[in-house]
Amino acid sequence: MERWQKTLSESITSLDELARFVRIDIESLRPVIPRYPLRITRTYLSLIQKKDDPIGRQCIPDQRELEQDDLSIDPLNEKDLTVAPGLIHRYPDRVVLLVSSACPTLCRFCTRKNRMGGEENLINRNSLKSALEYIKTRPSIREVILSGGDPLLLSDDELETILTRLRKIPHLEIVRLHTRAPVTLSDRITDRLCRMLKQYHPIYLNTQFNHPIEITPLSTMACTRLADAGIPLGNQTVLLKGVNDDPEVMKQLMQKLLTIRVRPYYIHQMDLVKGTGHFRTSIQKGLNIMAGLRGYTSGMATPSYVVDLPGGKGKVPFLPDDVKRLENIFYLRNYLGEVVEYPDINE
Ligand SMILES: *Cc1c(COP(=O)(O)O)cnc(C)c1O
Ligand code: SF4
């Protein structure tokens, strides 16, 4: 057993275990667990001081998850976009391949929390074949995003099998991994894994840091190893009430990410997912955060703020200065005589 597998096996999965480390009201949380399981790695647990601090809120169950909130279990309509088991195709040139149904630490705000663990939508040896067949026969697909769950819960060998088969497809240019393992299971980023991955370049990896506290010596080491293997690192932060819905915290997070060679990519508005309503912030909040970044810190520390439109319409960036942009367009017209028009979005 590799060290990360041992760390994983020592994860907290019951309220009674958790109560040995954090003060929680076990009885009030008990009904949540059958519906939405609990899993926290020791790595992540060690960052919690209190149940409602920015780390505790992300992974400790909350009674509000069971509230009748009328929210959807699949707001992005991934079901209808599933073209083969485990394969989601929404955009012309890229697909998402779900290769794992588990995560080292289960985030309470997860978009897929109502569908996690469901094996039917997951790739296995047979269905991988049909997913690959789909990609092979569509030359417009340039990029495959390995997601889940967390693709790094596969063993190196399982992952390599998938990469080898993907790399046999001539028109496939980019493989991207979506994983929170650098943060929640930093051990997973071994030298062996990095040596394997770099044979399949260009590999990109997007991770998910949501608070500056998550940038620790361990997560820094994980990102250093990946970056040293030539893997460009991006970060997708989820905007979470009570965790990071604060311009100063976000600015600090984005700036610190650059110091560990992780480039901020997206800030995500919470999706309208059943059981996560208590994490939602207003879009105004997100715009204020963006206003606190733009012009105040490096453009490299400024991600796009995106809202994934319900129903599977896709991600749309929101800017704090949409009015200002219109002014700039008029300025260009007057000053340079150039007429800039918005692209025609009506197909
Ligand atoms: C988010 C997403 C992608 C990736 O989008 P990028 O903007 O390239 O990061 C691809 N497919 C689906 C279905 C998605 O939800
Ligand atoms: S790491 Fe991502 S997929 Fe896994 S539980 Fe968290 S949000 Fe969900």
Which ligand does the CA of 87 lie closest to? 1
CA Rg, the chain, in Å? 21
Say what percent of the chain tops pLDDT 70: 94
Whether 209 maps to a domain, the answer reads yes
Are 185 and 8 in contact by the 8 Å Cβ rule? The answer is yes
List residues bridging with 204 in a β-sheet. 176
Cα separation of 188 and 197, whole Å? Answer: 13
**Does residue 306's CB lie within 6 angstroms of at least one atom of ligand 1?**
no
The conformation of residue 168, written as its DSSP 8-state character, comes to T
Q: Ligand 1 centroid to 89 CA: how many Å?
A: 9
**Does residue 143's CB lie within 6 angstroms of at least one atom of ligand 1?**
no
Which ligand does the CA of 101 lie closest to? 2
Task: Report pLDDT for 343.
Answer: 65
Cβ-based neighbour number of residue 250 at 10 Å: 26
Q: Ligand 2 centroid to 59 CA: how many Å?
A: 10
Whether 221 maps to a domain, the answer reads yes
DSSP string, 20-79: TTS---HHHHTTHHHHS---B-HHHHTT-SSTTSTTHHHHS--GGGGS----BS-TT-HH
Ligand 2-lining residues (CB < 6 angstroms): 103, 106-107, 110, 112, 149-150, 180
Cα separation of 59 and 39, whole Å? Answer: 8
Residue 78 sits in which domain range?
A: 3-336
Query: Which are the catalytic amino acids?
Result: 90-91, 94, 103, 107, 110, 112, 271, 308, 315
Task: Report pLDDT for 121.
Answer: 53
Whether 199 maps to a domain, the answer reads yes
- What sign results for the dihedral spanned by CA atoms 301, 307, 313, 319? negative
**Does residue 88's CB lie within 6 angstroms of at least one atom of ligand 1?**
yes
Tokens at 126, concatenated: 């047979």
Task: Report pLDDT for 310.
Answer: 80
Ligand 1 atom having least distance to the Cα of 78: 13
Task: Report pLDDT for 347.
Answer: 47
| Residue of 145, 235, 267 best suited for mutating to test ligand 1, as the one with most atoms within 8 Å of CB | 145
**Does residue 315's CB lie within 6 angstroms of at least one atom of ligand 1?**
yes
In the chain, which residues have pLDDT < 70? 117-126, 322-323, 340-347
Return all residues near 6 (Cβ < 8 A) that are at least 6 apart.
Answer: none
Tokens at 136, concatenated: 């092979």
Task: Report pLDDT for 325.
Answer: 72
Q: Ligand 2 centroid to 332 CA: how many Å?
A: 43
Name the phi and psi angles at 83, rounded to 5. -100, -15
Name the phi and psi angles at 345, rounded to 5. -95, -5
Cβ-based neighbour number of residue 280 at 10 Å: 20
Whether 11 maps to a domain, the answer reads yes
CATH number for the domain spanning 248: value is 3.20.20.70
Whether 345 maps to a domain, the answer reads no
- Whether residue 117 is preceded by a cis peptide bond, meaning omega within 30 degrees of 0, is no
| Atom 8 in ligand 2: residue holding the nearest Cα | 110
Task: Report pLDDT for 107.
Answer: 98
Ligand 1 atom having least distance to the Cα of 81: 13
Q: Which candidate, 116, 101, 106, places its Cα nearest to that of 41?
A: 106
Task: Report pLDDT for 112.
Answer: 92
Helix (H) and strand (E) counts in the chain: 15, 10
The reported pTM is 0.94
Whether 111 maps to a domain, the answer reads yes
Q: Ligand 1 centroid to 205 CA: how many Å?
A: 13
Specify the number of domains making up the chain.
1
CA distance between the termini of the chain: 54
- Under DSSP, is residue 209 helix (H, G, I), strand (E, B) or coil? coil
Whether 183 maps to a domain, the answer reads yes
Q: Locate tokens 């400024």: which residue?
A: 302
Whether 67 maps to a domain, the answer reads yes
| Atom 5 in ligand 1: residue holding the nearest Cα | 315
Q: Ligand 2 centroid to 267 CA: how many Å?
A: 15
